[in-house]
């Protein structure tokens, strides 16, 4: 029997090791891994540079308290600030901690300027911001919150795409609007640039902070370092996690000067957040992904992958409803249930993962090779032809 709690519905498969885009199971099978720990292993499995970094740092220093200065963290924060809108960075260990800290930062800012009642956060109904108590109530999903009351207050929700409903929710007590730039768990739904611009305008007009959750779509996943860059919109707060650690748990909140002014000494903390081992890995991941050539390559790979997926869609319009996404955050929306389809892909040695709205979510490593994409396309085509 298993002594692990039953809070996951696990597939009956386990892996011995991974290399790049591939996972090797205990029973000797080789899988093309287009889940990559849900967009976490941004550089694939066992990347040589990350192995070198973690080996080197593990011999020097793993952990010291945030009561002391941590040069590796200073370095990573500087790189993130220089590359993005951010003036300051606050390190955490996971995505949900990052969204929590984003919410806290927004509220704390208004408190610090003498507006403590301006503390409500508007989010998209059935979005995903993580699993802590505040994050599940921010996500506004019945499934995630059921049985976990009393309700954490302070969140209002609007329906994705329904901008009238958003405007109705805004009040003088709205502190922030928090949305995923590209909804991941919610079904790979991209917020159009014009709407991001409109959000920014609304926020400016009503003195509201704009939080863009880039835990899943950030760190190169969209083909830009951040998914919002294309729109030219500057957010106030951006929680990140998943891809920045390349497999090592790292979260962070990026914020502008204004927001950071509220987070004075003692207002927030994390025992593990930003420790030297994590920061060393984060620096290596950042050096590779923030390179413009690397980002351009993601865009090219994405173009190739998306256009070929659309060809498959055109051939099997009765199976595939829509190809969604940007960069290497891709969804195949099916007309019918996605669970069977994902199982069939897995039987053919391609690992994918579900998202809402019958979407098969595809998350290759950002350095995936063209021939690996071809391999995946072949398997997807084969599964479509068998179902047909
Ligand atoms: C995964 C995710 C989170 C939560 O991250 P954890 O590391 O699982 O806590 C939050 N927001 C978004 C958009 C995510 O995709």
**Over the stretch 12-65, which tens digit does the pLDDT of each residue have?**
999 999 999 999 999 999 999 999 999 999 999 999 999 999 999 999 999 999
Residue 163's pLDDT band (cuts 50, 70, 90): confident
pLDDT digits 0-9 by tens, 242-262: 999 999 999 999 999 999 999
Nearest to 86, CA basis, from 294, 263, 242: 263
Phi and psi angles of residue 284, each rounded to the nearest 5 degrees, phi first: -65, -45
Summarize the confidence of residues 272-282 as an average pLDDT. Answer: 98
Looking up tokens 């085509």, which residue turns up?
Answer: 381
Determine if ligand 1 sits within 6 Å of the CB of residue 96. Answer: yes
Determine if ligand 1 sits within 6 Å of the CB of residue 241. Answer: yes
What are the strands of the beta sheet with 155-158, ordered from one edge?
A: 88-92, 251-255, 237-240, 209-213, 174-180, 120-124, 155-158
156 touches 292 (CB < 8 A): no
| Coil, strand or helix at 217 | coil
Summarize the confidence of residues 136-162 as an average pLDDT. Answer: 96
Around Cβ 37, how many Cβ atoms within 10 Å?
Answer: 16
Every domain of the chain with CATH number 3.40.640.10 lies at 49-289
Does the pTM exceed 0.75? yes
Burial string for 229-243 (b: 16+ CB within 10 Å, else e) reads: bebebebbbbbbbbb
Looking up tokens 């830009």, which residue turns up?
Answer: 224
Ligand 1 centroid to residue 1 C-alpha, Å: 30
Determine if ligand 1 sits within 6 Å of the CB of residue 245. Answer: no
CATH 3.30.70.920 for the 15-46+292-387 domain, yes or no: no
pLDDT digits 0-9 by tens, 103-139: 999 999 999 999 999 999 999 999 999 999 999 999 9
Average pLDDT score over the chain = 97
Summarize the confidence of residues 316-334 as an average pLDDT. Answer: 98
Q: Per-residue pLDDT for 289 more than 90?
A: yes
CATH class of the 49-289 domain in this structure: alpha beta
Every domain of the chain with CATH number 3.90.1150.10 lies at 15-46+292-387
Written as six digits, the tokens of 53 are 């970094």
Atom of ligand 1 nearest to the CA of 184: 15
Atom of ligand 1 nearest to the CA of 132: 9
Q: Per-residue pLDDT for 388 more than 90?
A: no
């Amino acid at each position: 029997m298993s002594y692990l709690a039953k809070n996951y519905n696990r597939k009956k498969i386990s892996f011995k090791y991974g290399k790049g885009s591939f996972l090797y199971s205990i029973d000797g099978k080789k899988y093309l891994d287009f889940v990559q720990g849900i967009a976490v292993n941004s550089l694939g499995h066992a990347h040589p540079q990350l192995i070198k970094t973690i080996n080197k740092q593990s011999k020097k220093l793993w952990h010291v308290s945030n009561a002391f200065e941590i040069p590796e963290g200073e370095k990573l924060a500087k790189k993130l600030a220089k590359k993005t809108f951010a003036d300051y960075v606050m390190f955490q260990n996971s995505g949900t901690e990052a969204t929590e800290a984003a919410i806290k930062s927004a509220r704390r800012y208004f408190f610090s300027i003498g507006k403590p009642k301006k503390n409500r956060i508007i989010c998209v109904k059935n979005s995903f911001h993580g699993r802590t108590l505040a994050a599940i109530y921010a996500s506004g999903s019945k499934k995630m919150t059921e049985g976990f009351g009393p309700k954490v207050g302070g969140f209002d929700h609007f329906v994705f795409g329904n901008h009238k409903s958003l405007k109705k929710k805004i009040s003088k007590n709205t502190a922030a609007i928090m949305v995923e730039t590209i909804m991941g768990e919610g079904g790979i739904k991209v917020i159009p640039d014009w709407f991001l611009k409109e959000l920014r305008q609304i926020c400016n007009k009503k003195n509201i902070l704009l939080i863009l959750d880039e835990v899943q779509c950030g760190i190169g996943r969209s083909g830009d370092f951040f998914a919002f860059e294309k729109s030219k919109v500057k957010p106030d707060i951006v929680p990140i996690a998943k891809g920045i650690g390349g497999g090592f748990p790292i979260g962070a909140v990026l914020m502008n000067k204004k927001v950071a002014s509220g987070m004075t000494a003692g207002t927030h903390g994390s025992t593990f957040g930003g420790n030297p081992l994590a920061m060393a890995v984060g620096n290596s991941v950042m050096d590779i992904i923030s390179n413009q050539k690397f980002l351009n390559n993601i865009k090219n790979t994405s173009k190739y992958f998306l256009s070929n997926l659309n060809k498959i869609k055109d051939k099997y319009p009765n199976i595939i409803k829509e190809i969604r996404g940007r960069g290497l955050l891709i969804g195949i929306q099916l007309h019918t249930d996605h669970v069977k389809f994902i199982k069939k892909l897995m039987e053919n040695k391609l690992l994918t993962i579900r998202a809402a709205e019958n979407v098969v979510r595809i998350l290759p490593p950002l350095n995936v090779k063209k021939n690996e994409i071809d391999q995946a396309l072949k398997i997807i085509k084969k599964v479509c032809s068998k179902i047909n």
